[in-house]
Amino acid sequence: MTKVLEGKVAIVTGSSRGIGRIIAEHLVDLGAKVVINYVSSSDQADDAVKTIKNKGGEAIAIKADLTNMSELEGLFSKTISVFGKLDILINNAGLMNNKPLLEVTEEDFDRAFDVNIKATYFSCQQAMKHMEEGGHIINMSTSVTGQMFPTYSVYAGAKGAVEQITRQLAKEFASKQISINAVAPGPTDTKLFRVGKSEEQIQGLRNMVGYGRLGTPEDTAKVISLLVNDDAQWITGQTIRSNGGFI
């Protein structure tokens, strides 16, 4: 694999497991040094770092709750302290808690928007302060924003806000030649995806995908690797629906 990200430093939020971990490992395969960010799963974060180091890559784990401003700022300052710079930010950390409208509480709403949009927005703010010129930011959204799914109103609403800030910040980041885009995966086969779903529901979602299969974390990681390559610098302010024809 060509080391197109050789010498680059990346933060991947929420990357101790799931899609985030696969994204982090893929960036390392392309030559980047990676920060594994986590909140509570320290064993999994340590395992991710160990796996990367065993493959000859460089990685560290930093615990930070990104809804807490001091911890969020600490994530970026520690990254600069260890690696000396920041080139790539993947805002992957997110929360999905689907409920019918009449069951959604104020706490549900506030938590979803804190994790999915507040953390993303202020991580972008830190990137503006610390990122090298010519850097790349990817904000994770969801292809559900283009569908009409019962129980997804809060999650899709928060991710819709992610897509809007991505567009609105594009020209601000352009002043530093930094690209910022959103990636919106479709149904992706992870442990978290399967929680609370029957096999019939999973098959229904599979049938909605043009390619007739669920996505994999590797599918998403490959799309992100294209967008953080300097050859894609001209793409900014866009939402890329990486979903195999789901919508």
Residue closest to 209 by CA, chosen among 169, 174, 162, 241:
241
CA gap 61, 54 in Å, rounded? 15
pLDDT tens sequence across 113-129:
999 999 999 999 999 99
155 catalytic residue (yes or no): yes
3-state secondary structure of 81: helix
Please say whether the beta carbons of 17 and 33 come within 8 A: no
CA gap 12, 48 in Å, rounded? 12
CA gap 60, 217 in Å, rounded? 21
Which residue is catalytic, options 38, 121, 152, 155? 155
Residue closest to 58 by CA, chosen among 90, 83, 81, 92:
83
The CATH number of 9-233 is which of 3.40.50.1820, 3.30.1330.10, 3.40.50.720, 3.30.420.40?
3.40.50.720
Percent of the chain with pLDDT over 90: 96
What are the residue ranges in the chain where pLDDT is below 70?
none
Q: What confidence score (pLDDT) does residue 195 get? A: 81
DSSP lists the bridge partners of residue 12 as 36, 90
**Phi and psi dihedrals of 138, rounded to 5?**
-120, 125
Give the distance from CA 45 to its chain's centroid: 16
3-state secondary structure of 64: coil
**pTM of model > 0.95:** yes
